[in-house]
Structure formats: structure tokens, C-alpha cells
Amino acid sequence: MKKVLTIIVSYNFEPWLTKCLDSLLQSTYPTDIFVIDNASSDHTVARIQQDYPQVILRQSDKNLGFGRANNLGFDYAITNRYDVVFLVNQDAWVQSSCLQHLMEEDYGPNVGIVSPMHYDGTGEQLDQGFAGYIKAGQANLSSFPVPFVNAAFWLIPVPVLKQVGLFAPIFYHYGEDSDYANRIKYHGMHLIVSRRAIAYHDRQNRNNVSRAQFFQREYIYFLTEYANVNHSFFSAFAYGVVAPIKKAFLRSSSSHAGLLPYLAIAFKVLAQTAAVYHTRKRNA
């Protein structure tokens, strides 16, 4: 039986702590659990220490962000010779058979990441973001490839980690999964969804996005394009730096609302050129 390490990055984890950890402890396929706490201000650490002594807990004295914190778990898995890592968001939980279905199905060669089906926290419908990755007819297949699926639930074989690498530290929070999916593609691997594996992501009440959040997401998108190793550097520059400038002036023709924010995004992405260059070089 292959050794699985489930990795959870926590920050003020208390609202979901019991549901998340209990679901993993009740898994029909055994897994060790590794929690990296990003300096929570609630009782997350004390509760894990008291109620879940079997959980491997690492405490950071500062918020490392999602990618860098997960990298600590990746390093632990590699050092301790685990076969597979399973990333699970803190605001999420799994059916007891989820991991077993993920582990036991034959997906064929060149599989880099496997994901379960993502339902929302009510369990009544697919997570809204996840539903956008599914094409008509795919949901009737036992498993199927997708160009991307967010990292709320990612099963990654450790040999893939060794080949593709860890999360790029240039992405603090958000964007690291898109970048990793781009690297999976670069290495000729696939992202697969297993229909029989079911998990739940409790974010259905977070659909309202502020103006600041919208433009932050736009910045991350363009930064991801700049770092995308599937593009030549010239093309990446066009997609990551020139594109938001173009978008700024297209917006200005009808409204000035987007002009300055998109110009700011372009200059902010451009300022990351040295870091992007080193990221692209390392990822390739």
C-alpha cells in the first residue's frame, strides 16, 4: 500500500477544523496528516495539539502564504519517502471513500495531478468554480482530463514533485496552482478528475468580489502568464505585460474606470521581471 501524506495549510482554521480533520481520519484509505499553520490568531494550534495528537503539526511564526507553506509539506513527504501527497484546503472535507477512489483507479500514463469532484459546502451541487472546468458529457466518465482544476484537492505522486518541482515562491497566495498546472503541461503530463471521488469545498458564500480583489486577481492572472514556461519569453512578455496595457486603453475608450488599475498591473508585473526570469529558468 502506498504511503500518502495529506497536507493542509491552515490560517484561523477553527471553523472547519473538526469537519476537515475528522473526514481524513475516517478515510477508508489511510493517510498521515501534515498541517502547516501560518501563524493563526485563533485556537487552531492548541486545538490540534489537544484533540488531534496524531497530526504532524508545523508552526510558522509568520504567514508564509499558500505555496511556500505547502512546500514545507512537499519537502517532508520527499524526505520521509512518501509515495503521494494529497493537498486539501482548510475550508474543505472529503467523503470517506474519496482518497481510496483517487488511489485505486488506473488513469493511464503521464498523470501529474488527480482531483476528486468538488461539491460546495452544502453537498447539493458542484462548487461553482469547479463546475466551470467540466465539459458536457465528461461527468458520465469514470475519469477525464481537464486543462486546470484548482488546488483545493490535489493528489500528486512524489515522483512528479521531484520532476516538476515545488510551488514557485513568486506566488504568495493564488496563482501558484495555475503556474503548477502550466508546468505539468510543459512536462507532458495531464490533470485528471476522478468522478467517483467526492470532496466538499465550503466557499459558496464568497461570491461577492470587491473591486480591489478583482484587480488583484487580474494581476495574478497576468503574472501567471508572464511566468508560463509554455510560452517563449517574448510571448510571455506580450501576455503578461503588454496585454494589461492593451486592456487599459480598451477600457479607457468607454470608461476611465479600468485605465489606471490596468496600467498599474502592467508596471507591477514588469517589476517582477527578474523574479519571473529566475522562476521560468528553474521551472524549465
- Residues of each domain in the chain carrying CATH 3.90.550.10: 4-201
Q: How confident is the model at residue 108 (pLDDT cuts 50, 70, 90)?
A: confident
CA-angle at 71, arms to 95 and 273, nearest 5°: 125
pLDDT in tens, 176-202: 999 999 999 999 999 999 999 999 999
3-class DSSP state of 200: strand
Count CA atoms closer than 13 A to 21's CA, side-chain side: 22
Quick check: 207 pLDDT over 90?
A: no
How much is the pTM? 0.94
Kind of pairing, strands 92-94 and 190-201? antiparallel
Task: State mean pLDDT over 126-148.
Answer: 85
3-class DSSP state of 193: strand
Residue 9, pLDDT score: 98
Average pLDDT, the chain: 93
pLDDT in tens, 243-281: 999 998 887 655 556 788 999 999 999 999 999 999 999
Residue 176 CB-density burial (10 A; 0-12 exposed, 13-18 middle, 19+ buried) = buried
Quick check: 107 pLDDT over 90?
A: no
pLDDT in tens, 225-250: 999 999 999 999 999 999 999 998 88
Residues 4-201: name the CATH superfamily.
Spore Coat Polysaccharide Biosynthesis Protein SpsA; Chain A (3.90.550.10)
Residue 60 CB-density burial (10 A; 0-12 exposed, 13-18 middle, 19+ buried) = middle
pLDDT in tens, 39-73: 999 999 999 999 999 999 999 999 999 999 999 99
Q: Are 207 and 264 in contact (CB under 8 A)?
A: no
Can you name the residues that pair with 119 across neighbouring β-strands? 126, 200
Percent of the chain whose predicted confidence (pLDDT) is above 90: 83
